[in-house]
Amino acid sequence: MVSKKIFIIGPPAAGKTCITKAFFEGEQPDKLLSDFGSPEPTLGVEHYKCAWIDTDIGVLDSSGQEMSRFLDGEDIEKEMSFGSSDAIVYVFDIEDWMKNSKEILTNLKKAMSVQEKYAPNARMFSFCHKIDLIAIDPEERVKIFEDVKKKIQKDLGIKVVFTSIDPNFIHTLFRSMQIILNDLSKKGTELEQFIKDLLLKGESSALILLNRDYRVISERRSDDISVLSMYNVINFVKSINKSFSKIKNGDFLAEGIVKSYKGNQVIIRGLKNNKYSIAFVIIFSEKATLKTVDRVLEFIGSS
């Protein structure tokens, strides 16, 4: 397995720790957003690890309160945080942008300068986070997004995505993280294209790949399949696998299961041994068959 490093940086209370806990640890968004479940501010650097298809990913989540230490501190601090990074994610709160975009841009430019010196081959991304907090009016929201894109993506050349861990917007975070991780993985890039080609245009369908921790490795869905429907199916898979594990003394579900769900057919295949850490293939479709699953298994090298 190839090893890659992601460094996450940004101002205090931007939501960096909630992002890492929601995506890499699978914590429920509702819990993270509650008064009782909200995580304590990060001190120093927190480390996370995950297996992503053909790549071992190490994630460093840095303290927002100590951001100046990573941007303006000693060279050794900059090298230890930015050094050897393959991707750098700068996270900021959209409400902070509306109050003081100049400060956010100043710190982003500092991060770009440090990245150029200590991780010249790393790709930089910017997460405009907590988008659920801004005006509901579509026209107003578009104006804000366009302002962010112009000043970061167009003027600085840094790709910006708009994210949230709010249940109504959680798909924005998962999709954004998937794009970054698949960019670091040769097989992930190929997998993205394969799934895109596999799902028929005009058909109500979705394809989801999960690892053993029920994290989404890759997913594609047609517009008419809601995020809620997708996560209901994932929770169903989680539930039946836990029940199966209890019955079989910790064994792992490896049989195909077909279940009708709101007019769509759900085909689930559990994988015991897959070199890309894929544990479940789920196809959610009107017309998919077991042959569709076989095509996926052939691509990822599983029997």
pLDDT of 160: 95
Equal CATH topology for 2-183 and 186-300: no
State the pLDDT at residue 246: 60
Instruction: Give the pLDDT confidence of 27-83 residue by residue, as tens digits.
Output: 776 666 665 545 555 666 788 888 788 888 999 998 888 899 999 989 988 999 999
Topology adopted by domain 2-183 = Rossmann fold (3.40.50)
Give percent of the chain with pLDDT exceeding 90.
Answer: 29
Q: Convert the pLDDT of each residue in 144-201 to its tens digit.
A: 999 999 999 999 999 999 999 887 788 788 888 888 988 888 888 888 788 878 776 6
Strand order in 280-285's β-sheet? 216-221, 205-210, 280-285, 264-270, 256-261
Pairwise CA distance, residues 111 & 109, whole Å: 5
For the chain, domain boundaries: 2-183, 186-300
Give yes or no for a contact between 112 and 126, defined as CB atoms under 8 angstroms apart: no
Whole-number Å distance between alpha carbons of 109 and 155: 11
Q: Which residue has the higher pLDDT, 122 or 30?
A: 122
Query: Mind listing the pLDDT tens digit for each residue in 236-249?
Result: 777 777 776 665 55
Q: If you classify domain 186-300 with CATH, what class do you get? A: alpha beta
Alpha-carbon distance of 237 to 239, in angstroms, equals 5
3-state percent breakdown (helix, strand, coil) of the chain, nearest 5: 45, 25, 30
